[in-house]
Every structure is written in structure tokens, then in C-alpha cells.
Amino acid sequence: MGFFQALIPVNMTALRIVRGSRILRVFKSLHEIAELLSILYKSFAQFSYVIALTVLMLFVYALLGMTLFGEIISGNDGGIHQETNFSTFYLSMMTLWIANTGDGWNHFMHDTSNVVGGIGIVFWLTFAIINMLIFFNIVVAVLFQKLEEKAQ
């Protein structure tokens, strides 16, 4: 027996049940989660346009990347290697998709700029600004628009 259990004779199993009942508060917020899912469902048409713009942008940048960086198979910074490069259209799209998530795009930028110079920096900075800042803000704007429509 622990020190506190010796001082205060309390059934610890009962306390664990009371502590476990706190999870029931989650069920109160299920109504709010259902509203959020409803808003996401209603804004799917606008999201499809944003997704189409994102795919179009990835397509253009993949072709541009193949033209500019197609011969770079490995880099010093660890971004460009056998599985992430611009040698084929598929690998270009996968490389851009990885960078799209914000994961190591700066490593890709350093590897490409070491070979081609400033054009690599311009390529990756415009990609990051257009994709990560503008498109993600458009998604948030669509959600806020639907929330405002629901509130009115």
C-alpha cells in the first residue's frame, strides 16, 4: 500500500472510474464535430476547385523541374536522391508532393541551387509561396465562408 492510501482509506478503483468518466465530456462535443463534418461536406465543390488548381500547379512545376533539374540525381544536402529527383515525371510529382507538405523543401532547394545556381532558389521559393502560403489560405477561406453562410 502507498503512503497516501494508508493515510486516507479510499477505494482507488472508484476513483479510477470517476476519472474515466471524464471522457464522457467528449460526447457533448459530438454535435459540434457533426456540424464541422457537415460544413466540410457542403464545401466539397469549392475544395475540388482548389485541388484542381493544386494539381495543375504541381503539373507545371513538375515539368519545369524536369527541365531545370532533370540531370540531378543526388545532392549534398540530402534532399535530392534516388527516390526524390526530377528525372521522370512520376518522381517529379512525388518530389513536389513531398515538398508540398513542407517536409524538407529547403533541402531540395539547397541541392538544386548548388548545381544550377539562383534559378533553383527562385523555383523553390515561388513553389513554397504559391503552394504553402496561398493555397492553404484558400482552403481556410473556403471553410470560413461556409461557416459564415451557416451562421446567417
Beta strands in the chain (DSSP E): none
pTM of this structure = 0.69
The DSSP secondary structure of 50-98, one letter per residue, reads HHHHHHHHHHHHHHHHHHHHTT----SSSSSSSSSSSSSHHHHHHHHHH
98 touches 83 (CB < 8 A)? no
**CATH of span 43-151:** 1.10.287.70
Delimit the domains of the chain by residue range: 43-151
In angstroms, the CA 150 to CA 145 distance is: 9
Q: What is the mean predicted confidence (pLDDT) over 94-102?
A: 88
Average pLDDT value over all residues in the chain: 81
pLDDT in tens, 43-96: 888 888 888 888 999 999 999 999 999 888 877 767 788 888 899 999 999 999
- Please tell me what DSSP assigns to residue 23: G
Query: Is the pLDDT at 126 greater than 90, yes or no?
Result: yes
**% of the chain residues with pLDDT over 90:** 24
pLDDT of residue 8: 62
